[in-house]
């Protein structure tokens, strides 16, 4: 690009923002389902309160993900409009999402094993 702006304010930033919103919404809905289903299948009464923890953590993460994605998009748009690619946000949000999903998989496996062995 010779002499032009670095940033084309097309629909790509909006699509990315919508994708992050859908991801946060999916985590929130999955967490609500976990809050509804996990206590119903609790194998032992002494663990009944612990079955709520994954759903509550998931709801909290969904809200934080939504807010962080909005802040990231505002920062990204500001950096691109100022033609300063050195201020572009990193991949921290994606790393956080990956770690959350891996943690959910580990907790799900542990809860499944608890339910099977009880």
Number of domains the chain is built from? 1
CA distances from 86 to 24, 69, 71, 113 (A): 27, 19, 17, 47
> Tokens 């999903």, residue?
101
Q: Which domain holds residue 97?
A: 12-117
CA angle 27, 32, 34 (to 5 degrees): 90
- pLDDT bin (cut points 50, 70, 90) of residue 60 is very high
Judge whether residue 66 has pLDDT over 70. yes
Question: Is 5 part of a structural domain of the chain?
Answer: no
**Three-state secondary structure along 63-82?**
HHHHHHHHHHHHHHHHHHHC
Question: Is 66 part of a structural domain of the chain?
Answer: yes
pTM of the model: 0.78
pLDDT tens for 71-82 read 988 888 887 777
Contacts of 94 (CB under 8 A, 6+ apart): none
Question: Is 86 part of a structural domain of the chain?
Answer: yes
């Amino acid at each position: 690009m010779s002499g032009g702006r670095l940033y084309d304010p097309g629909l790509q930033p909006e699509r990315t923002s919508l994708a992050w919103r859908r991801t946060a919404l999916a985590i929130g809905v999955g967490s609500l389902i976990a809050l509804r289903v996990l206590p119903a299948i609790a194998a032992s009464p002494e663990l009944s309160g612990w079955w709520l923890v994954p759903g509550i953590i998931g709801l909290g993460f969904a809200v934080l993900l939504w807010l962080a994605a909005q802040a990231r998009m505002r920062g990204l748009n500001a950096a691109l409009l100022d033609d300063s690619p050195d201020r572009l946000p990193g991949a921290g949000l994606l790393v956080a999402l990956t770690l959350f999903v891996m943690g959910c998989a580990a907790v799900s496996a542990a809860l499944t094993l608890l339910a099977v062995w009880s």
